[in-house]
């Protein structure tokens, strides 16, 4: 089975592209959602988080995302501490999930594939590219945060041009080019490749 990574900066449209693959019957793993699930439900991770950031980051067992985001995206050392707690468990969850799938290929969607050094296990990586102004507007609207807060996150991610150069394929999500034909072309390539590999 082929393992395909799907990455891109904040607001680039990764989840939107992942949904299209999903409608074609391709299973997709969402690393952001998995990380949140682990943070709220894995007792060991939860204890490490409380130890690092205080019990205030949980309210009635739910992660107070706004509060935690305000702490970590302002402070590189605290973000590193958070990443060191969440990334190994999320990478492990992705591996376990991939082992359970049986389609010709699967998609792992993660904003930080390269930053978290989890790209090595994948056969191909798709990057989703969007103009920076669109990304900022989408992220502001989607998460109800300020432009400054979006910029703080962008500064913590790998330079976008560098990220796209590391990808095998790039999908352009500029709201001019249609996404579906781009996804269908890649789907054809991956199915062919999976057949050759088997
Ligand atoms: C800090 C948290 C609580 C903020 O939650 P919030 O709902 O506001 O954002 P969400 O998780 O939906 O992320 C939105 C986008 O922010 C960016 N982002 C998230 N975490 C990080 C990070 N550690 N470093 C850089 N950018 C990040 C990504 O582009 C992501 O797609 C949350 O992002 C988190 O728990 N992050 C740590 C886990 C993690 O690394 N997730 C990403 C796995 S790829
Ligand atoms: N082509 C598009 N046309 C219209 N809206 C779009 C398009 N692509 C993305 N969006 C919107 O922009 C927002 C961000 O998109 P999406 O969640 O897919 O990005 P993402 O890369 O997964 O973001 P993040 O890293 O911030 O989680 C969403 O509200 C989505 O509906």
**Residue numbers of the domain that contains 76:** 2-197
Q: Is the CB of 127 under 6 A from ligand 2?
A: no
Burial state string for 30-51 with b = 16 or more CB within 10 A and e = fewer than 16: bbeebbbebbeebeebbebbee
Q: Is the CB of 129 under 6 A from ligand 2?
A: no
Of all protein residues, the one whose alpha carbon is nearest to atom 6 of ligand 2 is 13
Ligand 2 center to 69 CA (angstroms)? 19
For position 151, what pLDDT does the model report? 97
Q: Is the CB of 10 under 6 A from ligand 1?
A: yes
**Atom number in ligand 2 closest to CA 19:** 18
Query: What does the alpha-carbon distance between residue 189 and residue 33 come to, in Å, rounded to a whole number?
Result: 27
For position 198, what pLDDT does the model report? 78
Q: What angle do CA 189, 192, 197 make, to 5 degrees?
A: 120
Residue 197 reports pLDDT greater than 90? no
Q: Which ligand is nearest to the CA of 7?
A: 2
| Number of domains comprising the chain | 1
Residue pLDDT, tens place only, 95-152: 999 999 999 999 999 999 999 998 998 999 999 999 999 999 999 999 999 999 999 9
Q: Is 12 annotated as a binding residue?
A: yes
Residue 21 reports pLDDT greater than 90? yes
pTM of the predicted structure, to 2 decimals: 0.96
Q: At 118, phi and psi to the nearest 5?
A: -115, 15
For position 53, what pLDDT does the model report? 97
Of all protein residues, the one whose alpha carbon is nearest to atom 9 of ligand 2 is 13
- Are 186 and 193 in contact, with CB atoms under 8 Å apart? no
Residue 156's pLDDT band (cuts 50, 70, 90): very high
Q: Which ligand is nearest to the CA of 67?
A: 1
Of residues 195 and 10, the one with the higher pLDDT is 10
Residue pLDDT, tens place only, 44-95: 999 999 999 999 999 998 999 999 999 999 999 999 999 999 999 999 999 9
Ligand 1 center to 73 CA (angstroms)? 9
CATH of the domain at 127: 3.40.50.300
């Amino acid at each position: 089975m082929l393992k395909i990574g799907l990455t891109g900066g904040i607001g680039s449209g990764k989840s939107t592209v992942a949904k299209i693959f999903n409608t074609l019957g391709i299973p997709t793993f969402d690393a952001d959602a998995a990380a949140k699930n682990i943070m709220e439900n894995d007792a060991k991770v939860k204890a490490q988080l409380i130890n690092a950031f205080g019990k205030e980051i949980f309210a009635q067992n739910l992660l107070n995302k706004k509060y935690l985001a305000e702490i970590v995206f302002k402070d590189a050392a605290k973000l590193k501490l958070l990443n060191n707690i969440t990334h190994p468990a999320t990478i492990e969850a992705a591996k376990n999930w991939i082992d359970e799938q049986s389609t010709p290929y699967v998609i792992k969607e993660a904003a930080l594939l390269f930053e978290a050094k989890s790209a090595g296990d994948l056969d191909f990586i798709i990057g989703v590219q969007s103009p920076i102004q669109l990304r900022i507007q989408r992220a502001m609207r989607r998460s109800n945060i300020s432009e400054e807060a979006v910029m703080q996150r962008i500064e913590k991610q790998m330079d976008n041009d560098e990220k796209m150069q590391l990808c095998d394929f790039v999908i352009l999500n500029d709201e001019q080019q249609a996404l579906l034909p781009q996804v269908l072309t890649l789907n054809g390539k991956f199915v062919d490749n999976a057949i050759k590999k088997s």
